[in-house]
Amino acid sequence: MMTWNRMDVIDRFEHDPAFRSLVDLMTHWLLGHPDVTPTELREAAMCAASRVDAMTVRRRYVFDKDGTFLHMESERGQP
């Protein structure tokens, strides 16, 4: 898996087929919805990203050496 610098979006658009597909999908959707501005689409994308982050919680259960449950730890982020 390649990692990308956030500033290299044009390069990523040109070389990453999945990213290009997402950009194309959003472009076509926006062109078909003239009542939505590019700023609103950008805000909606950020809102969606925040919702996914909030919905994706990793849980870790902590037990002592005898197997007794002590507590649960939650970490927000990608699974």
66: three-class secondary structure by DSSP: coil
CA distance 27 to 17: 15
* β-strand partners of 59: 74
Confidence label for 18 from pLDDT (cuts 50, 70 and 90): very high
Whole-model pTM: value is 0.60
Domain boundaries along the sequence of the chain:
9-76
Does the structure show a pLDDT above 80 at 78?
Answer: no
CA distance 48 to 25: 15
Give φ, ψ of 5 to 5 degrees: -75, 135
Report the chain's mean pLDDT, rounded to a whole number: 84
Work out the percent of the chain whose per-residue pLDDT is above 70.
84
Work out the percent of the chain whose per-residue pLDDT is above 90.
41
Mean pLDDT of all residues in 23-37 = 97
